[in-house]
Amino acid sequence: MARLNQIIAIEKGIKSGTYAKITEIHNRTKPEMYNGFEKRYEKIDEASEDLPPDRKHIEITAQDVLSQVRKLTSELMQVTARKDWTNCVAKANIVVDGQAVLHDVPVTYLLFLEKQLTDLQTLITKMPVLDPAERWESDPASGLFRSAEPTRTHRTKKVQEAIVKYPATVEHPAQTELITKDVLAGHWVTTKFSGAMQKPGKEAIVERVNKLLQAVKQAREAANGADEVDGIPDVGDAVFNYVLRD
């Protein structure tokens, strides 16, 4: 009796071979190949010339095509039935650090869960962490992290001021010039906020996802070792006996 993983391996080969052969039948078979004829010449008198008969043989029949397709498809249907019937009973526990996280998980769901955890692993790995150059503290009011030490930066403004270039004399008035200069107007006090993850927390989550993912893969392998079930019907016969009945 085969195991599920052996049936899966067999199915892959049969499926690719069946699809290739049926595609070849489709591509090779033309409508004119189903038709043939016989021609016999009948002259109207003995003085007329004789012409040889002509014939075109039928190259293929619908029955031939259906028989080939039935044979190919029935084999694929049967091996896939063996896989899917066995999938119904193939289950395993997901075990992490000796503890079962989930019990009796079907192999088909293990495949789904493996994909979800792989996507989750990718998502979390790409998430940013808090800038290590800052000292952060929790802000209960916002549920975010905030910088523990606000930064102060200067804000300047431009003002115009008249300067005397040349003082007044008896002969000439004073010469002045209007200049613009930056003067301190105040300070910006900046508190930074962040919704990023703390690095240790992120690393711990990534590690747990990785461990769970490995446990799911091991459970899938264990479930795929299930023995083939008995009593699988002849699916191909059931399908084609109905489809091709007189």
Q: What is the pLDDT of residues 10-46, one digit of tens each?
A: 999 999 999 999 999 999 899 999 999 999 999 998 8
pLDDT given for residue 173 in this prediction: 84
Q: Identify the DSSP state of 210.
A: H
Beta strands in the chain (DSSP E): 37-39, 54-56, 91-96, 99-106, 136-139, 144-147, 151-166, 175-190, 193-194
Give the SS3 label for residue 136.
strand
Query: What is the DSSP secondary-structure string of 223-237?
Result: HTTPBPPS----HHH
Q: How far is CA 179 from CA 164, 167, 182, in A?
A: 11, 17, 10
- Token duo for residue 184: 């301190």
pLDDT given for residue 83 in this prediction: 94
Sign of CA dihedral 219, 222, 227, 233: positive
As a whole number of Å, the end-to-end CA separation of the chain is 36
pLDDT given for residue 172 in this prediction: 82
Angle at 85 between CA 74 and CA 222, to 5 degrees: 125
d(CA 16, CA 19): 5
d(CA 200, CA 96): 21
pLDDT given for residue 225 in this prediction: 94
Q: Are 209 and 55 in contact (CB under 8 A)?
A: no
Give the SS3 label for residue 174.
coil
pLDDT given for residue 171 in this prediction: 82
Pairing mode, strands 144-147 and 193-194: antiparallel
Prediction pTM value: 0.71
Low-confidence ranges of the chain (pLDDT < 70): none
pLDDT given for residue 91 in this prediction: 96
- Token duo for residue 181: 């200069």
d(CA 92, CA 221): 9
Residue 78: count of CB within 10 angstroms of its CB? 18
